[in-house]
Amino acid sequence: MARPTQAGMRAGARWVLAPPCAGSAELARRLRTSPLVAQLLHNRGLDSPQAVAAFLDPKLTDLHPPELMAGMEAASARIIAALRAGQRICLYGDYDVDGMTGLAILYRCLSLRGGQVEYYVPHRIDEGYGLNLKAVEKIAAGGAKLLVTVDCGVTAVEAVARANQLGLDVIVTDHHAPDAALPAALAIVHPALPGGTYPNANLSGSGVAFKLAWHLSRSLVGGGRVDEPTRRLLLEATTLAALGTIADVVPLLGENRVLAAYGLRGLVATEHVGLRALVESAGLVGERLDAYHVGFCLAPRLNACGRMGHARVAVELLTRADAERCRRIAEGLEKTNTQRQQVERDILQQALEVIERDKLAEDGQAALVLAGEGWHAGVIGIVAARLVDRFCRPTVMIALANGQGQGSARSIDGFHMRDALAACSVHLASFGGHAMAGGLRLSAQNVGAFARAFCQHARANLSPDQLTPVLNIEAVVRLSELSLPVVRQLEKLGPFGRGNPNPVVMAPGVRLLTAPQRMGRSGSTVSFIAAQDAAGTGRTRCVGFGMAEMADRLSAGSIVDIAGRAVINRFNGRESVEFHLQDLRPAGQEPGNAKIT
């Protein structure tokens, strides 16, 4: 069966069409592809056969040399010294998928070299994000001499200073934005430090860990070819890095695309017992795995462990568990993820009721701030993201307990979340984050004042257009253009993600040949057959996930403009093209907010 191409809809959005490529026919001839694919490649700035070839066939040889990254040489030298001296090394990883997979890459690399290596993963709720003082003291007391952070640490000035006092050397590997003051670490391995020259500032935390493992392995053999076990380990590491890269939503361009594409190919036949168990528990054995499966099937299972309990169980799956233990862990992650989904649904429903009751999303309201007793602090970030998708407003969700609040925030394009939290920091005990997301802690009695300050800041810094959902459309097509060969070409543009979106196209003047039919357990999905002329040329099955209410207003013979994605439905060995709807509107409307009425 075909699957939805993304989790949520933006029905009723303002449609924004990319300008057509004036020479699409000539470009298609030069690139030896269809005019539609030529338009999509043009939209991505790929107008030469050489650029297209590199994009469509990413190779490991396209990866940048790891020694170009700041701190790499010093980090490798210190780790090698620790390995040779038999010193205990502690890897300190973040509790999300990017941190877990990066930690697993370095753990397996150091273990292969006989290192005395252990790891520490903080508890999401009790300890919060980043390197903390109590953890540093515990690691030092355990006898470690070298502490290596993974996907965190670049802002941990106080914690690194404490580690130094306790005799711990610290190597920071991170990709998050640094503050003005850097921690006094022995080395900071980072793709985007001020003054750095690394070509890819958007490398993920697991990508940084992969580069360190690669450089370390080459350094151990004097820069020559690594042995076969190390070569296999590094190839396996691309699969772990692919999971982290896709899950952390970094741009899937350049070497990020190389890691994602190569790692996804390796995931299908991986020998990593933990990844095999994870794929099996998700029911994906034999599937053509792509970025969707990572983002919506595998990553949520790993993340659920940290959200609902402690991420160290998922890290065990990726590092040192045997096959039977991996099977049990994967089964447990499946149950935990199901629990997480139910908790998420409950909190989302409560939030929606408050928004409707208090009219929080009406015109003039530029942000959402909601707080609730008993809300699970590990899940509210997902709910905040759901609300951003639905209402196109920066959203802060706060879980209240014992007079304190722990919040998670998600933003929209053009509204820097960390800066917004900083503007309201007088009401907060602590905060952190980046442009699109953040976290905060505050006293429960300050929630009202914070909400007013945050919403006021949003009103002052957001325009009405920014608060209107936008559906970016890459090309106008006729349904007859979407043949199986063309859609197969579209698939080759993947893996899709930030920086390389799964293309949305518009088919104008589509006539419904059949009345919409509800599908699925909940009946929220709808399907119908459509074409663009009375003869039924280009007959295509259209599917709208979560769009039944809108489509219920249509009937056979209705004429609409549709926007969505062409996908291949593979079922029982047969392939057919489907059109997965993102939005629809009365035919002939100008781009804007027109809806079916």
pLDDT for 13: 85
Mean pLDDT along residues 138-153: 97
Query: DSSP for 161-181?
Result: HHHHHTT-EEEEE--SPP-SS
Mean pLDDT along residues 153-161: 96
Asked if 593 and 554 count as a contact pair (C-beta separation under 8 A), the reply is no
Mean pLDDT along residues 214-241: 93
Question: What are the pLDDT digits (tens) for 246-295?
Answer: 999 899 999 999 999 999 999 999 999 999 999 999 999 988 899 999 99
pLDDT for 30: 87
Mean pLDDT along residues 192-198: 92
pLDDT for 533: 77
- C-alpha–C-alpha distance, residues 490 and 498, integer Å: 17
pLDDT for 549: 81
Task: Tell me which amino acid residue 265 is.
Answer: R
Asked if 169 and 186 count as a contact pair (C-beta separation under 8 A), the reply is yes
Domain boundaries, the chain: 14-18+474-586, 62-268, 363-467
pLDDT for 4: 52
- Which secondary-structure segment (H or E) carries 210? helix 205-220
Mean pLDDT along residues 482-511: 95
- C-alpha–C-alpha distance, residues 240 and 115, integer Å: 20
Measure CA 467 to chain center: 22
Angle between helices 299-308 and 312-319 (to 10 degrees): 140
pLDDT for 523: 87
For residue 81, pLDDT over 70 is answered with yes
Mean pLDDT along residues 481-500: 95
- C-alpha–C-alpha distance, residues 194 and 5, integer Å: 37
Measure CA 160 to chain center: 28
pLDDT for 3: 53
Mean pLDDT along residues 218-238: 91
Domain 363-467, CATH among 3.40.50.2300, 2.60.40.10, 3.40.228.10, 3.10.310.30: 3.10.310.30
The tally of CA atoms less than 13 A away on the side-chain side of residue 450 is 30
Angle at 271 between CA 265 and CA 273, to 5 degrees: 120
The tally of CA atoms less than 13 A away on the side-chain side of residue 53 is 5
**Can you name the residues that pair with 581 across neighbouring β-strands?**
564
Mean pLDDT along residues 354-373: 94
For residue 158, pLDDT over 70 is answered with yes
Model confidence at 303, pLDDT cuts 50, 70, 90, reads: very high
Model confidence at 593, pLDDT cuts 50, 70, 90, reads: very low
- C-alpha–C-alpha distance, residues 466 and 76, integer Å: 45
For residue 569, pLDDT over 90 is answered with yes
- C-alpha–C-alpha distance, residues 213 and 354, integer Å: 49
pLDDT for 594: 41
Model confidence at 179, pLDDT cuts 50, 70, 90, reads: confident
User: Rg of the chain over CA atoms, in angstroms?
Assistant: 25
Task: Tell me which amino acid residue 536 is.
Answer: G
Asked if 33 and 41 count as a contact pair (C-beta separation under 8 A), the reply is yes
Mean pLDDT along residues 178-198: 95
- C-alpha–C-alpha distance, residues 13 and 392, integer Å: 10
pLDDT for 590: 60
Q: What's the pTM? A: 0.91
439: exposed, middle or buried (Cβ count in 10 Å: 0-12, 13-18, 19+): buried
Within the chain, what is the greatest distance between any pair of CA atoms? 80
Angle at 359 between CA 358 and CA 361, to 5 degrees: 130
- C-alpha–C-alpha distance, residues 411 and 405, integer Å: 19
Percent above pLDDT 70 for the chain = 97
For residue 553, pLDDT over 60 is answered with yes
Question: What are the pLDDT digits (tens) for 260-274?
Answer: 999 999 999 999 999
pLDDT for 433: 81
Task: Read off the tokens for 230.
Answer: 């190390």
Domain 14-18+474-586, CATH among 3.40.250.10, 3.30.365.10, 2.60.120.10, 2.40.50.460: 2.40.50.460
Asked if 308 and 378 count as a contact pair (C-beta separation under 8 A), the reply is yes
Mean pLDDT along residues 480-490: 95
Residues in the chain, how many? 597
CATH T-level fold of 62-268: inorganic pyrophosphatase (n-terminal core) (3.90.1640)
> How high does pLDDT run on average in the chain?
92
Asked if 140 and 163 count as a contact pair (C-beta separation under 8 A), the reply is yes
pLDDT for 12: 62
Mean pLDDT along residues 477-494: 95
